[in-house]
């Protein structure tokens, strides 16, 4: 009989230790270690004769048939296919996380309509009854005859039904409601989430059935459960956005079958999620004109250039320590840009509050947005308006110089398509650009001081 050992696992990062600590030694979070029981089989009882010979399972890589058309399914949503790397891979396990009410279940139920034309789909819910799922399906216009519903929480029974019925696609909503009867932990605990994910993974791989698994998020915005759950699955998708806003962004954090740089943009309507084919126009919608403190940046999300409006507000502080707030960009990156403006150009921000916001809920990780942030700060400080037909992008160095950026031609082409008349970018980037190809004024500058003169 297997021995039972007590272990403690961090709910935030999955770190495992034999002793309880108030603070996780790995990630530094407090009160995240939870007690779990681990069955350990004595090594002395293992015998060589009981080990199964698996040499017959070894195959040559050249003999494996993995043609593109046979292993990928089109979901019916081009934005979702883009994030997945071209479609849903056969036998893959996809984890979809997001805040409650963001639209996870809505999107998965919507793809059942288009995918149900050619494939049988099993939708398993541990949160809703079959009647509740039907009511939501009627609201979304989902009436596929190949869609089958199952309301069940027992993970072993679900896997047995998958093996018996052999659906072509399976959706699990959600992993926090699933449990294995032999494990004494409650639903949603570390042990249950990890073991249920493992069981679904083995079923998906052995039956070559692609699975979508819905995961809840904790207060920090990360998928609830141990970090090891994200290591088990093939693809991790995050659904971002605010419930009071209509736009949603789908982002891949991990993808074994495609790039993690692509994003999908959706709009939540009464009839469900709608794809946004032109995110740049959506992000710039309602942009103010002749107002200081705004500048447009162009960032790259995978192979897609997207326009984003950077807003800055510099005002006199009423506090002893001025406030610094950054929404949509890294706080420390903002602090570096302010320090460069003070040291290299002599603009003083020490007694002023500084607020920076990226409109539309985007998060700018691309350093090419540095110049737009600097121009917005300069515009708000001096109350000098940056033309609404001007776009700027470039990375700022600590010496105040502008460093070259990647994908400059794609950014310029997108700016031209969106109707901009002037583009400010690093002078080094002009070496690889044919300026005569574009009907937009392209200005190359070597420092942020030169960029300020252009506005």
CATH number of the domain to which 369 belongs: 3.30.230.10
Please indicate, yes or no, whether residues 403 and 337 belong to a single structural domain of this protein. yes
Q: How far apart, in whole angstroms, are the C-alpha atoms of residue 76 and residue 237?
A: 17
Residue 238 has pLDDT above 50, yes or no: yes
Q: How far apart, in whole angstroms, are the C-alpha atoms of residue 81 and residue 264?
A: 9
In the structure, what pLDDT confidence band is assigned to residue 243 with cuts at 50, 70 and 90? low
Q: Is residue 135 part of a domain?
A: yes
Please indicate, yes or no, whether residues 10 and 143 belong to a single structural domain of this protein. no
Residue 46 has pLDDT above 70, yes or no: no
| pLDDT digits 0-9 by tens, 430-444 | 988 888 889 999 999
Q: Which residues of 398-412 are buried (b: 16+ CB within 10 A; e: fewer)?
A: eebbbebbebbeebb
Residue 42 has pLDDT above 50, yes or no: no
Across the beta sheet with 235-240, what order do the strands follow?
147-151, 121-125, 169-173, 211-215, 93-98, 235-240, 247-255, 263-269, 272-275
Q: Residue written as tokens 């103010």?
A: 288
Q: Is residue 270 part of a domain?
A: yes
Task: Kindly report the average pLDDT of the chain as a whole number.
Answer: 87
Please indicate, yes or no, whether residues 318 and 268 belong to a single structural domain of this protein. no
Query: Cβ neighbours of residue 227 under 8 Å, at least 6 residues apart?
Result: 12, 13, 14
Beta carbons of 38 and 185 less than 8 angstroms apart: no
What pLDDT is attached to residue 43?
Answer: 43
Q: Mean pLDDT across the stretch 233-241?
A: 89
Beta carbons of 250 and 273 less than 8 angstroms apart: no
What pLDDT is attached to residue 298?
Answer: 92
Please indicate, yes or no, whether residues 261 and 306 belong to a single structural domain of this protein. no
* Rounded (5°) CA angle 309-349-369: 25
Residue 369 has pLDDT above 90, yes or no: yes
| pLDDT digits 0-9 by tens, 76-106 | 999 999 999 889 999 999 999 888 888 899 9
From 277, 305, 339, the end of a domain falls on: 277
List the domain range (segments joined by +) for residue 16: 3-44
Please tell me the pTM assigned to this model.
Answer: 0.75
- Torsion sign (Cα): 194, 197, 201, 207: positive
Q: How far apart, in whole angstroms, are the C-alpha atoms of residue 234 and residue 93?
A: 5
Take residue 188 and report the two structure tokens written for it: 């949603």
What pLDDT is attached to residue 1?
Answer: 47
What pLDDT is attached to residue 259?
Answer: 84
Question: Would strands 247-255 and 263-269 be described as parallel, antiparallel, or unpaired?
Answer: antiparallel
Q: How far apart, in whole angstroms, are the C-alpha atoms of residue 21 and residue 36?
A: 14
Please indicate, yes or no, whether residues 271 and 288 belong to a single structural domain of this protein. no
Beta carbons of 428 and 368 less than 8 angstroms apart: no
What pLDDT is attached to residue 211?
Answer: 96
Q: How far apart, in whole angstroms, are the C-alpha atoms of residue 228 and residue 215?
A: 13
CA-based Rg of the chain, rounded to a whole angstrom?
Answer: 26
Q: Is residue 12 part of a domain?
A: yes
| H/E element, 205 | helix 190-207
Please indicate, yes or no, whether residues 411 and 296 belong to a single structural domain of this protein. yes
Question: Would strands 324-327 and 304-316 be described as parallel, antiparallel, or unpaired?
Answer: unpaired
What pLDDT is attached to residue 210?
Answer: 95
- Measure CA 83 to chain center: 9
Distances (CA, A) of 249 to 60, 79, 99, 239, 260: 40, 10, 12, 6, 14
From 238, 262, 277, the end of a domain falls on: 277
Q: Is residue 54 part of a domain?
A: no
Q: Is residue 51 part of a domain?
A: no
What pLDDT is attached to residue 216?
Answer: 81
Please indicate, yes or no, whether residues 143 and 267 belong to a single structural domain of this protein. yes
Q: Is residue 50 part of a domain?
A: no
Q: Residue written as tokens 């074994």?
A: 256
% of the chain surpassing 70 pLDDT: 91
What pLDDT is attached to residue 67?
Answer: 61
What pLDDT is attached to residue 44?
Answer: 44
Q: Residue written as tokens 């000098």?
A: 384
Q: Is residue 350 part of a domain?
A: yes
Distances (CA, A) of 243 to 1, 58, 98, 100, 249: 51, 49, 11, 9, 12
Number of domains in the chain: 3
Please indicate, yes or no, whether residues 100 and 195 belong to a single structural domain of this protein. yes
Q: What is the DSSP letter of 393?
A: -
Take residue 300 and report the two structure tokens written for it: 């790259």
Q: Is residue 8 part of a domain?
A: yes
Beta carbons of 366 and 299 less than 8 angstroms apart: yes
From 231, 248, 277, the end of a domain falls on: 277
Please indicate, yes or no, whether residues 271 and 292 belong to a single structural domain of this protein. no
Residue 69 has pLDDT above 60, yes or no: no
Please indicate, yes or no, whether residues 212 and 329 belong to a single structural domain of this protein. no
Please indicate, yes or no, whether residues 255 and 301 belong to a single structural domain of this protein. no
Q: Mean pLDDT across the stretch 179-202?
A: 87
Please indicate, yes or no, whether residues 222 and 338 belong to a single structural domain of this protein. no
In the structure, what pLDDT confidence band is assigned to residue 217 with cuts at 50, 70 and 90? confident
């Amino acid at each position: 009989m297997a021995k039972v050992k007590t272990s403690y696992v961090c709910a935030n990062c999955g770190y495992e230790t034999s002793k309880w600590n108030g603070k996780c030694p790995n990630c530094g979070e407090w009160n995240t270690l939870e007690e779990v029981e681990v069955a350990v089989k004595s090594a002395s009882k293992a015998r060589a004769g009981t080990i199964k010979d698996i040499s017959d399972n070894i195959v040559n890589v050249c003999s494996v048939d993995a043609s593109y058309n046979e292993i990928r399914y089109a979901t019916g949503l081009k934005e979702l296919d883009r994030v997945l790397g071209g479609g849903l891979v056969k036998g893959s396990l996809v984890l979809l996380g997001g805040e409650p009410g963001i639209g996870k279940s809505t999107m998965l139920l919507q793809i059942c309509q288009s995918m149900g034309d050619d494939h049988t789909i099993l939708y398993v819910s541990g949160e809703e009854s079959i009647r509740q799922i039907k009511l939501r399906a009627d609201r979304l216009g989902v009436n596929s005859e190949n869609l089958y519903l199952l309301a069940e929480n027992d993970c072993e029974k679900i896997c047995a039904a998958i093996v018996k019925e052999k659906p072509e696609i399976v959706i699990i909503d959600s992993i926090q409601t699933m449990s294995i009867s032999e494990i004494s932990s409650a639903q949603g605990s570390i042990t249950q989430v990890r073991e249920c994910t493992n069981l679904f993974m083995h079923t998906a791989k052995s039956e070559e059935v692609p699975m979508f698994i819905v995961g809840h998020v904790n207060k920090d915005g990360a998928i609830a459960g141990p970090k090891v759950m994200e290591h088990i699955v093939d693809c991790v998708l995050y659904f971002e956005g605010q419930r009071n806003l209509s736009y949603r962004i789908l982002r891949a954090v991990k993808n074994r079958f495609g790039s993690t740089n692509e994003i999908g943009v959706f709009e939540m309507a009464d009839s469900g999620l709608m794809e946004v084919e032109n995110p740049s126009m959506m992000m710039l919608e309602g942009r103010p004109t002749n107002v200081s403190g705004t500048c447009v940046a162009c960032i790259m999300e995978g192979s897609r250039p997207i326009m984003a409006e950077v807003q800055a507000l510099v005002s006199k502080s009423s506090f002893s320590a001025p406030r610094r707030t950054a929404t949509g960009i890294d706080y420390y990156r903002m602090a570096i840009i302010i320090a460069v403006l003070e040291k290299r150009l002599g603009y003083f921000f020490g007694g002023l509050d500084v607020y920076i916001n990226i409109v539309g809920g985007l998060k700018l990780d691309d350093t090419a947005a540095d110049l737009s942030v600097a121009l917005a700060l300069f515009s708000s400080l001096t109350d000098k308006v940056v033309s609404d037909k001007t776009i700027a992008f470039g990375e700022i160095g600590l010496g105040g110089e502008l460093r070259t950026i990647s994908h400059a031609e794609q950014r310029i082409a997108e700016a031209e398509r969106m109707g901009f008349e002037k583009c400010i970018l690093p002078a080094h980037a002009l070496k690889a650009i044919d300026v005569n190809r574009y009907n937009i004024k392209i200005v190359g500058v070597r420092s942020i001081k030169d960029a300020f003169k252009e506005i």
